[in-house]
């Protein structure tokens, strides 16, 4: 992708703290129900940040507040140096948004749709380049209402990056995509990051977060549980290992923060020094994520 480098920020909106997004004490309620409960969050300029969480955790609501399409009930929010509740047209022009549904016209072809929305941007990415980037070149003459779910999702991504945004919001962007399309999308995001675009995405796919994100945040029951690099998420939980072995025809296992000591005891107790069926495993990203969510949900009950 050769033409998606973000335009420089206007001098009036410049700031030097390194944060594209800064959130302190964000609260959003619907009636008596609090869906975002005191979230603190920083997204650094130029990074890919993934927000993980189960359905109803508050991910989409948080992102919509940052985009300026939903009003908050409490807290301080700064996005690209401005409060999104008061962001004007120039500020919105610096954002790219890929939501969970499209508003593109069904009667237009893919190319016509991209050409139409290109008029809203000062320096749009050329349509032919966008089509190639999202894998829709062969579908350029296809009407939008005849696209598959995955193809429609690719079109939404193309519309989101068309204006060369400084900050790109992606709300579950690969839902409905086949594995090939997902990988193509990952390459697109990697190219955007390489050119300095900040990306905040929500996703249910842990492999996607691990592959794309510099940092991930886990949100559950409206609260941000932890923020870390994917490999460091749940560091305390990852220190615990499960040692499993075969003894007298039955499997036994021990969960311990000191597996080396268990292994020494097992080897010492074996007449031959061999331990049948021995395995040592530590929690992976999915295990850690599920434990963090379960713990957070348990605290709110």
Span 126-148, average pLDDT: 92
- Paired tokens of 206: 């842990």
Its pTM stands at 0.79
Q: What is the pLDDT of residues 154-213, one digit of tens each?
A: 898 899 999 999 999 999 888 877 888 888 888 889 988 998 999 999 988 889 999 999
Band (pLDDT 50/70/90 cuts) for residue 105 is low
- Paired tokens of 92: 């919105």
More confident residue, 75 or 180: 75
Q: How far is CA 215 from CA 41, 187, 191, 226, in A?
A: 12, 18, 17, 10
Give residue 99's pLDDT: 82
For residue 255, being part of any structural domain is answered with: yes
Domain total in the chain: 1
Write phi, then psi, for 233 (nearest 5 degrees).
-60, 135
Q: What is the pLDDT of residues 255-274, one digit of tens each?
A: 888 888 888 888 888 888 88
For residue 120, being part of any structural domain is answered with: no
Give residue 17's pLDDT: 60
CA nearest to 81, candidates 72, 90, 73: 90
Give residue 293's pLDDT: 86
For residue 259, being part of any structural domain is answered with: yes
Residue 247, C-beta contacts closer than 8 angstroms, at least 6 positions apart? 276
Give residue 16's pLDDT: 42
Strand partners, 252: 245
Q: What letters, b where the CB count within 10 A reaches 16 and e where it falls short, cover 200-211?
A: bbbbebbebbbb
- Paired tokens of 170: 């992606």
- Paired tokens of 144: 């939008």
Give residue 195's pLDDT: 86
Q: How many residues are there in the chain?
A: 301
Element at 195 (helix H, strand E): none
Cβ atoms 41, 232 nearer than 8 A: no
For residue 28, being part of any structural domain is answered with: no
For residue 113, being part of any structural domain is answered with: no
Concatenated DSSP letters of 221-289: TTEEEEEE-GGGTTHHHHT-EEEEEEETTEEEEEEES-HHHHHHHHHHHSSSS--TT-EEE---HHHHH
- Paired tokens of 276: 């049948």
For residue 240, being part of any structural domain is answered with: yes
For residue 244, being part of any structural domain is answered with: yes
Domain range for 282: 235-299
258 phi-psi bin (left φ>0, alpha ψ -120 to 50, beta other): beta
Residue-averaged pLDDT of the chain:
86
For residue 223, being part of any structural domain is answered with: no
Q: Where are the beta strands (DSSP E) in 13-132?
A: 19-30, 33-44, 48-52, 74-79, 95-98
Q: How many CB atoms lie within 10 A of CB 8?
A: 10
């Amino acid at each position: 992708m050769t033409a998606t480098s973000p335009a420089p920020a206007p001098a009036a909106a410049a700031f030097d703290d390194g944060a594209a997004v800064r959130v302190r004490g964000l609260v959003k309620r619907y009636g008596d129900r609090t869906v975002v409960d005191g979230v603190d969050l920083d997204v650094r300029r130029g990074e890919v940040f993934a927000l993980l969480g189960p359905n109803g955790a508050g991910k989409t609501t948080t992102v919509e507040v940052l985009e300026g399409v939903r009003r908050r009930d409490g807290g301080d929010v700064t996005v690209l140096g401005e409060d999104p509740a008061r962001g004007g047209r120039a500020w919105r022009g610096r954002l790219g948004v890929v939501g969970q549904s499209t508003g593109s016209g069904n009667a237009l072809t893919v190319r016509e749709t991209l050409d139409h929305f290109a008029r809203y941007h000062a320096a749009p990415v050329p349509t032919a380049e966008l089509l190639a980037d999202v894998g829709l070149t062969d579908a350029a003459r296809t009407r939008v209402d005849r696209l598959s779910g995955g193809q429609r999702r690719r079109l939404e991504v193309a519309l989101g990056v068309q204006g060369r945004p400084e900050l790109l919001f992606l709300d579950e962007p690969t839902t409905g995509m086949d594995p090939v399309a997902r990988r193509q999308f990952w390459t697109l995001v990697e190219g955007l990051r390489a050119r300095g675009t900040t990306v905040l995405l929500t996703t249910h796919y842990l492999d996607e977060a691990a592959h794309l994100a510099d940092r991930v945040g886990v949100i559950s029951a409206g609260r941000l549980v932890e923020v870390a690099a994917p490999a460091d998420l749940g560091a305390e939980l990852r220190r615990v290992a499960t040692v499993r072995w075969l003894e007298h025809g039955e499997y036994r296992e021990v969960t311990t923060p000191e597996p080396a000591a268990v292994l020494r005891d097992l080897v010492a107790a074996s007449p031959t020094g061999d331990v049948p069926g021995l395995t040592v495993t530590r929690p992976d990203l999915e295990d850690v994520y599920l434990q963090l969510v379960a713990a957070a949900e348990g605290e709110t009950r």
